[in-house]
Structure 1
Amino acid sequence: METSIDFEQLLKAIGDGVVVADARGNIIFWNAAAERIFGFTEQEAIGKSLDLIIPERQRQRHWDGYQKTMDTGQTRYGHDLLRVPALHKEGRPLSIAFTVAMLYTPDHKVSAIVAVVRDETARWTDERDMRKRIAELEASQKQAV
């Protein structure tokens, strides 16, 4: 039995955001989940710089790492989850987690980077609130002693 997979259909349907950027950092693929996470439609995102979703204070660090990855063809985020701040279209901050994969030209140069993205804003907020509550409880116990 022969099975063929329509990979474009798969990437468009998957529940995690899939964002592909070319070697210059311009978005060349944006699925429905990326639209849900970041608020930008596919039409608004395609052809734009990744700066669209990167907070200004993170941009230099991002582009330094991006260029190093383009130059070396190496990243440690292919297997390790990277958690970073991001921006929603409305300007509100997001906390995202993602892994990346690189796409190569036939002569083995990096041509694009694929990021598989998940919105972790609610989890991050819950953890921050829990840490704050624990600190308050510890402080009140120290005062009681």
Structure 2
Amino acid sequence: MSQVVDFEQLVSNVGDAVVVSDAHGSIVVWNSAAERIFGFTEEEALGRTLDLITPDRHRRRHWDGYHTTVQTGVTRYGSDVLRVPAVHKDGHTLSIAFTVGLLFDDARTVTGITAVIRDETSRWNEERQLRARLRELEALRDTRQG
């Protein structure tokens, strides 16, 4: 028996952020997980550009890649998980991981880009602390051996 999938309900209830932007980079979908992760309500996010969550120092690179992807209809990331910094509404930095997908019309023109996003700030901080501790232990070992 076939079931019809209610995609609006799926996007609303999934635990990861779903953010869809149009070909110009304006946000057209912002689910409750995006609100939880980034702090902006749906009303605050819809119609705004992705600059809303992109750190200033990364914006040029982000937009260069975004516009190239929209023009060519090809993303070099495919199913790769991207890890980048992002910005919360209150200004603190997040570490996010996400995948992207392209949306096309019947003529195969890109109409939007979708991102499924997870907040990995805690994991990133833990890994950074572990790397720092490892460097300390290696330095201590080198001191004792030398």
**Could you say which TM-score interval applies, normalised by the shorter chain?**
over 0.9
Question: Partner of 1:138 in structure 2?
Answer: 138
Query: Which residue of 2 is the match for residue 50 of structure 1?
Result: 50
1:144 positional shift: 1.4
TM superposition shift of 1:76: 2.5
Q: Supply the RMSD in Å over aligned alpha carbons.
A: 0.7
In terms of mean alpha carbon deviation, does 110-119 or 68-77 score higher? 68-77
**How many percent of aligned residue pairs carry the same amino acid?**
59
Partner of 1:102: 102
Residue 35 of structure 1 corresponds to 35
Matches within 5 A, 1:22-101: 22-101=22-101
Partner residue in 2 for 1:14: 14
The count of residues paired between Structure 1 and Structure 2 equals 145
Give the AA of the match of 1:69: T
Distance 1:90 1:60 in 2: 22
TM-superposed CA distance for 1:2, in Å, is: 3.2
Task: Write the distance in 1 (CA, Å) between the matches of 2:94 and 2:101.
Answer: 22
TM-score w.r.t. structure 1 length? 0.98
**CA–CA distance in structure 2, aligned partners of residues 31 and 78 of structure 1:** 22
Q: How far has the Cα of 1:40 moved from its partner? A: 0.5
Displacement, 1:63? 0.3
User: How far apart in 2 are the matches of 1:2 and 1:107?
Assistant: 29
Structure 1 residue identity aligned to 2:6: D
